[in-house]
Chains A and B, each alone.
Chain A
Amino acid sequence: MFHSRLVVWLLGFVVAAGAGFGSFYHLYSPPGEEDPEGEACTDGDCRKPDESLSLPGSERAYLWDIEHGGNLLVAHGFGPLTAALRQADAPALLALCGEDFRGQTLRAPREVAWRSDWLNVVRQMDGGQPPLPLDRGQFVERLLDYRRCFATEPKVKLSLMKLSPVRRQDLDGPWQGTCQLRLWGEKAPGQPAEVIAYLSYQVPRPTRQRLDQGGWLTTCAIEQSQTGHARSFLSREVAAERGINVAALHDNWKGGPEHIFTGGVYLCDFDRDGILDVLITDLNGNFLYKGLPDGRFRDVTEEMGLPRRCPIPPDRPYAAAFIDIDGDGWEDLILYRSVYRNEGGQRFTNVTARCKLGLPEEAVGFAVADYDRDGRPDVYVVLKGTARWDGFLGDKGGMGNHLWRNKGNWEFEDVTEMAGAGGGQRSAFTAVWLDANNDGWPDLYVPNEFGNGVLLINQGNGTFKEHSLTPGPSDYATMGVTAGDVDNDGNIDLYLANMYSKAGKRVFGNLRPDTYPPGVMTQLRTFVEGSQLHRNKGNLEFEQKGKEWQVADCGWPHGAALIDLDNDDWLDLHATAGFMSRDRTKPDG
């Protein structure tokens, strides 16, 4: 493992580079005289910074020039293009194409399609045939075809993806890149429509002067396109309408102190009336909502004996879980560091004192399962670590998780060590139970915020054995996990919500391939690859389908859920995204 602080900074950069305009980046020189911290290791694991991993100033300047060129291209090239397309201005679009413009599109594309009376989506990809050439006029017609999907002026966005000079280091020669073109709006009143296309292109070196002249698009190829429309939007936001007091919950965008994390949402029919209830934890308090027959909710927090507030430290939204500890059929509740017994759905009573269960302040998640199949549900307590400088490259960012075995009579014992279930010292937000090898014993996937997660295979005798989903580095910055059988082959698959960064990928792609030793380069690459779908083939073999099925690019995701939204018996996927948004007028970091 490489422990250079320099590499940490570089990784920190690619981790931090968001998916926006990529208007900034930072690379670091090796700590030397500039670095007063160079000697200040206190963890007994000090290493002298490795000089071989430094990035020369000329390399840093090169990467900076590319990013700056990208900013210019976006502001003064893409900007006019999207405006012209929005307005269906054919002459303006033609004027952006160079005199000797060469375009191309897919010939006999391969399709993935959904055709029904309520939803039509067709994605066209490379079918293996040589591309169809397009001249300037034909290319503009293709763009206008996209525009014609909309009855009124759509929104249009062109997002920069890859960008580099065609000949490495030759900044004044031609540049090449890729981008995503999105148009969204209405096909008819109330009927949403969208186009998503991926383009590759060549341009001269982007400068303000050259772009303002027009005719800067030298070549452009349509690599993939997707058009879609629906009878109406497939969902509608109704939280406040249904009686949830959304205004009472913390929102960074409403001013006041900002917090990276917020509380959670826990679903359970705690009063067993056949209507689902919702527990919301938040920096501003706890909210237990009882579900009502018409789909509305009523706040019953205090009525049910739960505290409106837990004594949490700032910036540490705590964890909760419903779990029927005493097996009486009424699901009890772990809430931060307290345990509440569910008294027949009428009240929650605090039984923390009699319940021997280790609930540290640092717990961020609980995962419930009966791992030893003795008839009593057990609980895996996940502790989030703090970012250590050597934790970016491995499995030492966490504090170690704990497996607590339910002995009955409200007693738990910590069997972590005996079971081998700590999951290393990975920093994680959650862990997910699943039967990964179909042997009837619950296995556990522990993700890792700073590297590969691990699948703990239940040996059926109270112990677990570690198994890796992939032979080498794969996932990075895994913030969330969901499991389900996505291809209905009888094996449970895993979807990992990993960080994804367009800018990070772009800059990483512009590093010289031999900038770092191969092991480091591979690991760096995983930092910005995005979410991954590990398809379970059986026999504990997994294949990675995230890129092929195009479910990898999701900004900076935290949560994900495999749910059958359309009830067609195939599990669909929803993922949340976004880290910290401050100002729409400012570019993304």
Chain B
Amino acid sequence: MRSRGIPPPGQLDPSLNEFWVSNPWETVEEGHNLSAYERGRTWLNVRGKDFLDISYLSGADDDGDGRCVVAGDFRNNGRLDVVVRKSGGGPLQLYENNFPQRHYLKVTLRGTRSNRQGIGARLVAVVNGQQLVREMYPQNSHRSQMPNIVHFGLGDHDHAERLTIRWPSGEEQVLTDVGGDRHIVVEEGKQGTAAIETVVPGQTIRP
């Protein structure tokens, strides 16, 4: 799509910094702004009914040219820090999550009949009567990968009444009264508390 020298349809006003390119791709080639200084956005889910724009209040609304985003609990405090990559305006940002501390549960899977990481498993937690459905997939939203860890926010409740794992092998594993505020490994094929190990950061998780 090369430029074809099409003239502007009107007078350019330099005091307004008006500019003209006959070909949209020239905008980038000729050093103009294109969708510039857009702010990264954060939307808070209001109980599944709507979202509220808290971009500025989040402190993570940098206006660089953002590309991919992932999140992980790097400090093992149950709070997801957000990592953003940018092509301009600071190539990588790690946003330390300073939302208030609330209960959580992180789950890693150890498949025995299913694939080792339990990719494709569906996890259903029941927390104060509410069902939460999450899936184990290391999602790539754009040039990225999330870890093979399922994260449940538990709000004001320090445990999940029930945690059901539907493994890719077809097995359905039900665990009851699972204490929160930790990272657990659940092994396929085992029952009850024998199925659960608590991760101790710094100690190797048995593969």
Taking a contact as CB atoms under 8 Å apart, the answer to whether A194 and B37 are in contact is no
- Taking CB atoms, residues of chain A closer than 8 Å to B143 are 261, 263-265, 281, 317, 319, 364-365, 429-430, 559
Are A567 and B66 CB-contacts (below 8 A) given A184-B56, A266-B145?
no
- Chain B residue with the shortest CB-CB distance to A487: B48
Contacts of A57 in B (CB 8 A): 9
Contact between A327 and B116, CB atoms less than 8 A apart: yes
Interchain CB contact under 8 A, B66 and A24: no
Q: Which residues of B contact A555 (CB under 8 A)?
A: 35, 38-39
Q: Which of A366, A567, A589 contacts B27 (CB 8 A)?
A: A589
Are A582 and B33 neighbours in the complex by a CB distance under 8 Å?
A: yes
Which of A301-309, A433-441, A464-472, A512-520 has 4 or more CB atoms under 8 Å from chain B?
Answer: A433-441
- Spot the interface stretch: A89-97, A142-150, A224-232, A351-359: A224-232
Asked whether B141 lies within 8 Å of A482 as measured between CB atoms, the reply is: yes
User: Given the interface contacts A275-B201, A549-B50, A580-B88, does A16 sit within 8 Å of B97 by beta carbon?
Assistant: no
Interface of A is mostly: loop
Contact indicator B142/A377 (Cβ below 8 Å)? no
| CB within 8 Å: A-B pair count | 568
Report which of B52, B65, B73, B199 forms a contact with A579, defined as CB distance below 8 A.
B65
Interface status of B75 (Cβ within 8 A of chain A): yes
Interface of B is mostly: loop
Contact with A along B145-176 (1 / 0, CB 8 A): 11111011111000000000010111000000
Which residues from chain B contact A9 at a C-beta distance below 8 Å? 1, 23-24
**Which residues of chain B come closer than 8 Å to A569, judged between CB atoms?**
127, 130, 132, 152-155
How many residues of chain A are within 8 Å of chain B by beta carbon?
179
Question: In the complex, A250 Cα to B48 Cα: how many Å?
Answer: 38
- Is B35 a contact of A235 with CB atoms below 8 Å? no
A234 touches B4 (CB 8 A): no
The answer to whether B140 touches A366 (Cβ under 8 A) is yes
Contacts of B19 in A (CB 8 A): 23-24, 586-587, 589
- Residues in chain A near residue B96, CB distance under 8 A: 235-238, 295
Residues of B within 8 Å of A293, CB to CB, are: 201-202
Q: How far is the CB of A348 from chain B (nearest CB, A)?
A: 15
Q: Is residue A564 within 8 Å, beta carbon to beta carbon, of the partner chain? A: yes
Q: What sequence of 0s and 1s flags, for each residue 8-41 of chain A, a beta carbon within 8 Å of any chain B beta carbon? A: 1100110110111001101111010011110000
B-side contacts of A559, CB under 8 Å: 66-69, 84-85, 141-144
Given contacts A235-B60, A268-B148, 19 further A-B contacts (CB under 8 A): A27-B9, A234-B57, A235-B81, A246-B90, A246-B91, A251-B90, A258-B88, A260-B87, A262-B85, A294-B75, A329-B110, A432-B140, A488-B132, A550-B51, A563-B82, A563-B151, A575-B40, A577-B66, A581-B64
Q: Which 10 A-B pairs have the closest CB atoms?
A: A329-B207, A576-B66, A555-B38, A233-B59, A567-B153, A264-B143, A16-B24, A252-B88, A480-B142, A487-B48
The chain B residues found within 8 Å of chain A, CB to CB, are 1-2, 4-6, 8-11, 13, 15-25, 27-28, 31-54, 56-60, 62-76, 78-104, 110-111, 113-117, 119-120, 122, 124, 127, 130-135, 137-149, 151-155, 166, 168-170, 183, 199-207
